[in-house]
Amino acid sequence: MKTKYAALLEPYQLPNGIEIKNRMMMAPMTNYSSNPDGTVTDAEIAYYTRRAKGVGAVITAVANITPGGKGFPGEIGCDRDELIPSLAKLANSIKRQGAKAILQIFHAGRMSPSDQVPNGDVTAPSNIPAERAGTLGVVPRKLTVIEIEEIIEAFGQATCRAIEAGFDGVEIHGANGYLIQQFFSPHANRREDQYGGTIEKRMTFPLAVIDKVQHAVKEYAKEPFIVGYRFSPEEPETPGITMGDTLKLVDVLADKGLDYLHVSLQYFWSKARREADTSRTRIELLLETINKRVPLVGVGSLYTADDVAEAMKTGIEFVGLGRELLIDPEWVQKIESGNEADINTTLDLDGKEALGFPDPFWKVITSVPGWVPGVE
């Protein structure tokens, strides 16, 4: 390993005492490859096993915490106890490679396809449709207070299942336009009760989910268990979440006793757009607000060893590798062995078998031009 990359491979101790062996995490990516009943497939296990060998932690694809929260076909399920053996199979496959296994848990809210949820009942904080491809025209049903409380409880139950299955932690998915983000968003949340209105009230649901998850950990985990939280810094909609809003949220989250925060970005060096200094990167603003109170995971189009080394200089504690590990599952090992020049940065379109992709995931990534470099 070259000295310039040494910082990437340093271990890090999370606030709860768990040590991550290096600063690389596999970022969560939906892979559409579980069985219709939510159990993981052998192909999915092989895909994760291959990519868990170098990174310090693997954050899985989203797992739905209720039947009505499903966001994709082929999604991992954690909404009932019958799925615990399947979840254990996934956790064990990751942990055997030396990586920490973190299950990402979520509810899709108004982003749920109507054909993926019981009776086509798409729900959200308010009956405001999403303005995003795939959901246009779907008017969600406004959740009742009782239903909201049931969903909060379901996050706790999903955490208990993750603990029983042997995961090292969970990541609460509060990003990418899904239900937790919807409650924080002035676009999706037009409620006038305790869950909506002011920015403080729009934080009520995300904070209640965190409290419930942390309570489940305190009650059921017999050893330290990771709780992370992922968020998106801004929304394109008007009204929508601004960078100023997110900095207020992150200031609160940094004192919640979480083990890490994880910002969802397409491009690591992107700059703020609204209600913040637009000459500065979002990462810079977030680090300033967090002020070392909680580790931050950064992500976004960092393909080479030099890309990641430069990102680490900002002061972030971890880098999430997403598309990079799709393209080159041995990304970390090549740095360890001093062969970083051999890292592949474009997808081999003839490499499905060699790269260990499940069929459904391969079909998706090779049909979306520009999402993964090499796919035109």
Residue numbers annotated as active site = 178
- Displacement of CA 109 from its chain's centroid (Å): 16
Residue the block writes with tokens 């101790």? 13
Scanning the chain, the segments in alpha helix (DSSP H) are 42-51, 84-95, 145-165, 179-184, 199-202, 204-220, 243-253, 282-290, 305-312, 323-327, 331-336, 352-355, 359-365
Residue 342, exposed/middle/buried by CB under 10 A (0-12, 13-18, 19+)? exposed
For the chain, helix (H) and strand (E) counts, in that order, are 13, 13
**Is 79 in contact with 64 (CB distance < 8 Å)?**
yes
16, amino acid identity: N
**Is 251 in contact with 258 (CB distance < 8 Å)?**
no
Q: Is 198 helix (H, G, I), strand (E, B) or coil?
A: coil
Q: Is 66 helix (H, G, I), strand (E, B) or coil?
A: coil
Instruction: Report in angstroms the alpha-carbon separations of 332 from 58, 189, 269.
Output: 13, 41, 21
Half-sphere exposure of 149 (CA within 13 A, CB side): 4
- 338, 259, 326, 318: which is closest to 293 by C-alpha? 259
**Is 230 in contact with 104 (CB distance < 8 Å)?**
yes
User: DSSP string of 228-254?
Assistant: EEEE-S--SSSS---HHHHHHHHHHHT
